[in-house]
Structure 1
Amino acid sequence: MIIEHNEPLLRLTWTDPVTGTNGYLVVHTLTSGLATGGTRMRAGCTLSEVEDLARGMANKTATFNLPVGGAKGGIDFDPKDPRAMGVLKRFCSAMRPWLDAHWVTAEDLGVPQHLIDEVFAELGLGQSYHAAISRSADPERTLRRVQAGLNAPVPGGLLLGDVIGGYGVAQACLGVAASWGSPADETTVAIQGIGTMGGGAAWYLHEAGVRVVAVADAAGTLYDPAGLDVPALLELRDAYGEIDRERVPGEVQRLPRNAVIGTEADILVPAAISYAITEDNVMDVAAKVVIEAANAATTPEAEAMLTARGVPVIPDFVANAGAAAWAWWLLLGEVGADPADSFLRLRTEMQSKVALLLGQWEMDRVSPRRTGLQLAAANRVERLEHQPEEESALLIP
């Protein structure tokens, strides 16, 4: 039986006294007195959206058996607006009672990690994992470990903390290909979104030999059936994850932004916005499987239609959980500053979970979401049964 906790513990709405915009915090579950989940900023962000995302975080932490609950923050404001940093600072200041003791947050759509860490530093909280770090027997040592892990350099000139989520998505894709018995170089992928998550996934898929045939940003879809030169395209991105079209090679086709949904590819990775695949465009999906790199990328109605067509959806709380899981492994000292250790741990756990989900799909046509929720529920029950007296006292080394 699936036990899914649909009612959150807390819904909080904040109104910015300067701009009048709204911000939201939803704490879905607390485990050991803590919840984790990023803070996003986008024009049109709603309380119901943040609630859906907090529920997804609760499922994510339970699926990977992390000792923390799920939460999410959201601000209804354009991150490109010059006033955005001020709005973020005031939101975090207002949320300080939660950030100080119970809510571990991080980057999300429209809010890069370095900006939220800058805000935390100004508030005297050090780093956005503060609520967890403060429980450590040696907070300064734990902070150094976290900062070393986040800032560990990886091939390509980026930092481990910036790419680990995308690496996890790439491993989900490779896990799907392995379940089919398909070699990487015979597997094709289309990715909607080329920011932190989509760009990281594209990089590691390209590195593994997969043909990334399409990527989409706000300006449109870039398509090449022979495979895109992903590293070159990533070099052309601006601060908002948009590719400079004037420098794109001439053989690359320029298509409308939404064309990526219907691209002929083995795997479709929506890695940009929530609710990207809906009843209106679901029949355009040509891929054999959808891997949700964005939170809540597929509406329930669209997912039901895909399932009926025989197209499984690897849900977000599995496919994009890499950054959240890794952050807690780092906090708990289970991985350190060596990227190889982090990549091995995440590759092993992600591919094993994808194999479980697809195994149930192939054998009994049980949807990957249902199997994932069953795993999350089982992990929750086991944690409560074995650690009933430790729920409020997580200790971090």
Structure 2
Amino acid sequence: MAIQHADEPLLRLTWTDRVTGAHGYLVVHSLVSGLATGGTRMRAGCTMSEVEDLARGMAAKTATFDLPVGGAKGGIDFDPKDPRATEVLRRFCEAMRPWLDAHWVTAEDLGVPQHIIDEVFAELGLEQSYHAAIRRSADPARTLRRVQAGLNAPVPGGLLLGDVIGGYGVAQACLGVTAAWNRAIEETTVAVQGIGTMGGGAAWYLHEAGMRVVAVADAAGTLYDPAGLDIPTLLQARDAYGEIDRSAVPDHVQRLPRQAVVGTEATILVPAAISYALTPDNSYDVRAEVVIEAANAATTPEAEAMLAARGVPVIPDFVANAGAAAWAWWLLLGQVGAEPTDSFLKLRGEMQSKVALLLGAWNTDRVPPRQTAWEFVTAREVAAAPAESALTIP
């Protein structure tokens, strides 16, 4: 079966919650071996168009990392801080159960923590959010144990592997830039917009690697210190919504407006909060030498073209933030297990080699990284994919 990557998705579904009136969306961009993968997000203002863009991006991620699965995405237009949010998520998953049972492998995303979506799946009798893939295993109970062991493996810092692997991948994309440009890590600075699961994980691993994280931004504003922030302390001071308790921030750290992070003097800018964070209106504020998209669709096409014209490359989301998706399938396929070192080594090698490829084309011919990445995706997608029955999950 050939994988077709078209702008038009395979499926769009719209759901209305009869209790709250909230709308939810499922977009399946492509199916490979009858499966598609992509998280479920919840935020006030989520639209079908947004979910469609994200599903297309997921298809690109799976192709980039040569995963035997298509791309999909779920989204719910509802405030995740509303006390009714979990029940809304449960009703959405119940409505989407035919797809979740047989075709759609989902996971956490903006506004939906992994433990919450797993609780909802357990209530529905589906065990875990990777259910559609796990049920194909010759021994589903064994596969479920392997998945749960990997997700819940402890890592330094008191967190779990499943919570940090995406941020670790983003950090490796940043470190791949330093390697491609022959920069000393300790002389490289980074600003991170968003300090939740993805941004916080990236900041942690960059700090651990010796890179100076000079700015982080949450909903309350930007924290800036040119000498480098104490990232472990700031992460410990986050609340359940990823906002840093300002009473725990040292007095010498500058408090700036939330959008100030975009214009921070830093080698690398990592937008890790919301989609469309970089637009034509603020692209000229960017003072970084490279942008690493940790958030999905963090840069509008117009802003990316404007940045490229100024000599600032953008490492696209479907490469830089694909670590969690790739790792989940490596875990499902038994290529990694519960030992975090194995997962870190595999993701580091895969991510840094891809970033080197993208920046190599940029350095020599000024080919935008997204163009090079899409050429790779297209080459993979036009090749013959495995037959429907060929996907084996141990």
On whether the aligned pair clears a TM of 0.5, the verdict is yes
- Where 2:388 maps in the other structure, the secondary structure is coil
Aligned to 1:396: 393
- Alpha-carbon distance between aligned partners in 2 of 1:383 and 1:202, rounded to the nearest angstrom: 39
Please report how far the alpha carbon of residue 393 of structure 1 lies from its aligned counterpart in structure 2 after TM superposition.
Answer: 4.7
CA deviations over 1:83-109 (Å, ceiling 9, x no partner) = 111100000000000000000000000
TM-score normalised by the chain length of structure 1? 0.98
Q: Is the 8 A contact 2:32 2:70 kept in 1?
A: yes
Instruction: Report the AA paired with residue 148 of structure 1.
Output: A
In the alignment, structure 1 segments of 5+ residues that lack a partner are none
Q: Is the 8 A contact 1:33 1:392 kept in 2?
A: no
Q: Is the 8 A contact 1:27 1:71 kept in 2?
A: yes
- Alpha-carbon distance between aligned partners in 2 of 1:383 and 1:57, rounded to the nearest angstrom: 19
Instruction: Report the AA paired with residue 186 of structure 2.
Output: D
- Is 1:329 matched up with 2:326? no
Aligned to 1:93: 94
Q: Is the 8 A contact 2:5 2:30 kept in 1?
A: no
Q: Is the 8 A contact 1:221 1:260 kept in 2?
A: yes
- Where 1:349 maps in the other structure, the secondary structure is helix
TM-score normalised by the chain length of structure 2? 0.98
Aligned to 1:183: 184
- Alpha-carbon distance between aligned partners in 1 of 2:361 and 2:28, rounded to the nearest angstrom: 31
- Where 2:297 maps in the other structure, the secondary structure is coil
- Alpha-carbon distance between aligned partners in 2 of 1:221 and 1:20, rounded to the nearest angstrom: 35
Instruction: Report 1:80-229 matches (<5 A).
Output: 80-229=81-230
- Where 2:383 maps in the other structure, the secondary structure is helix
- Alpha-carbon distance between aligned partners in 1 of 2:7 and 2:388, rounded to the nearest angstrom: 20
Give me the identity figure in percent: 82
Q: Is the 8 A contact 1:189 1:213 kept in 2?
A: yes
Please report how far the alpha carbon of residue 391 of structure 1 lies from its aligned counterpart in structure 2 after TM superposition.
Answer: 2.9
Please report how far the alpha carbon of residue 392 of structure 1 lies from its aligned counterpart in structure 2 after TM superposition.
Answer: 5.0
Aligned to 1:246: 247
Give the 3 Å change call, closer, same or farther, for CA 132–251 of structure 1 in structure 2: same
- Alpha-carbon distance between aligned partners in 1 of 2:156 and 2:317, rounded to the nearest angstrom: 26
- Alpha-carbon distance between aligned partners in 2 of 1:197 and 1:392, rounded to the nearest angstrom: 34
Q: Is the 8 A contact 2:5 2:381 kept in 1?
A: no
Instruction: Report the AA paired with residue 23 of structure 1.
Output: G
Q: Is the 8 A contact 1:33 1:393 kept in 2?
A: no
- Is 1:278 matched up with 2:275? no
- Alpha-carbon distance between aligned partners in 1 of 2:110 and 2:181, rounded to the nearest angstrom: 32
CA deviations over 1:177-214 (Å, ceiling 9, x no partner) = 11111111010000000000000000000000000000
- Where 1:325 maps in the other structure, the secondary structure is helix
- Where 1:182 maps in the other structure, the secondary structure is coil
Aligned length: 391
CA deviations over 1:226-261 (Å, ceiling 9, x no partner) = 000000000000000000011210010000000000
Instruction: Report the AA paired with residue 391 of structure 1.
Output: E
Please report how far the alpha carbon of residue 382 of structure 1 lies from its aligned counterpart in structure 2 after TM superposition.
Answer: 2.7
Aligned to 1:265: 266
- Where 2:392 maps in the other structure, the secondary structure is coil
